[in-house]
Amino acid sequence: MRKLVYWVHQSVDGFIEGPNGEFDWPAMGPELSAYSFELTGRADACLYGRKVWALMSYFWPRAEQLSQHPHDLAFAPVWRRTPKIVISRTLESAEYDARVVGRRDLAAEVAELKAEPGGELLLTGGAGAAAALTELGLIDVYEVVVHPVVLGGGTPVFPGKERLDLRLVETRGFDGRSVLLRYERA
C-alpha cells in the first residue's frame, strides 16, 4: 500500500497563507530545496486541491519566464514530468494531463490510488484537501516545514475540527531558517 504524504509550509503561528492570501514568505534555501527534491523523488504522483492546483498550473509551466530562483528553475521540469492528481468536487477535467478525483467518492478514489503499486503520493499544500483527507483517515505522513515568520492570521494548516494524534518521527533544520516536523498517524 502506497503512503499518502502531506507536505506543507507553515508559519510559526500555524498558517499556510497570510490574512490576504499571501504566500511570499517561505524561503527555499539550498538545503530545503534539496530535501523537497528528495521528497518529490519518492513520489509517483503529486496531489493538489483545486485552489493549489490553480496556482501550480499557472506558475510551473511558465516558471522560467516568471522566476530566476535556482529552486524554481530546477523544479519546473520535475513538475512537468510528474503525474498530477487534482482533488475537486467541481472540476470535471484539468490541463497538463492531470487526473481529477473527488467528484464521485473521494475516500474510494484515494483508497484506490493508495492500493496501486508504486511510490508515495505527495499532497502539496492546500488546507481544504488535507482536511478532507485527514478526516477520512487517508493521510499517512505529515511533513510540516515551519518557517520563521508570524503571519498573525490567515488559513490555518489544520482547519479540521477533530483531534488528531500524531507521532513525531523526525525533525530536521534547513538553511539555519526552517524546521521540518515529520509525523505519522499515531
Residue 131 and residue 160 in contact, taking contact as beta carbons nearer than 8 Å? yes
- Which one is predicted more confidently, 186 or 177? 177
Q: Is residue 153 part of a domain?
A: no
Q: Is residue 72 part of a domain?
A: yes
Q: Is residue 77 part of a domain?
A: yes
What is residue 43's predicted lDDT score, i.e. its pLDDT?
97
Q: Is residue 133 part of a domain?
A: yes
What is residue 3's predicted lDDT score, i.e. its pLDDT?
97
Distance CA 7, CA 131 (A): 13
What is residue 179's predicted lDDT score, i.e. its pLDDT?
98
Distance CA 29, CA 148 (A): 13
Instruction: State the amino acid at position 104 in one-letter form.
Output: R
pLDDT beyond 80 at 160: no
Q: What is the pLDDT of residues 6-41, one digit of tens each?
A: 999 999 999 999 999 999 999 999 999 999 999 999
Q: Is residue 84 part of a domain?
A: yes
Distance CA 23, CA 110 (A): 27
The backbone torsions φ and ψ at residue 175, rounded to the nearest 5 degrees and listed phi first, read 60, 20
Instruction: State the amino acid at position 157 in one-letter form.
Output: V
Q: Is residue 88 part of a domain?
A: yes
Distance CA 40, CA 34 (A): 10
* Averaged confidence pLDDT in the chain: 95
Q: Is residue 154 part of a domain?
A: no
pLDDT band at 116 (very low <50, low <70, confident <90, very high): very high
Number of domain units in the chain: 1
Q: Is residue 7 part of a domain?
A: no
What is residue 161's predicted lDDT score, i.e. its pLDDT?
75
Domain with 79 in it: 27-120+129-138
116 closest CA partner among 20, 45, 32: 45
pLDDT beyond 90 at 159: no
Distance CA 106, CA 136 (A): 9
Distance CA 105, CA 11 (A): 32
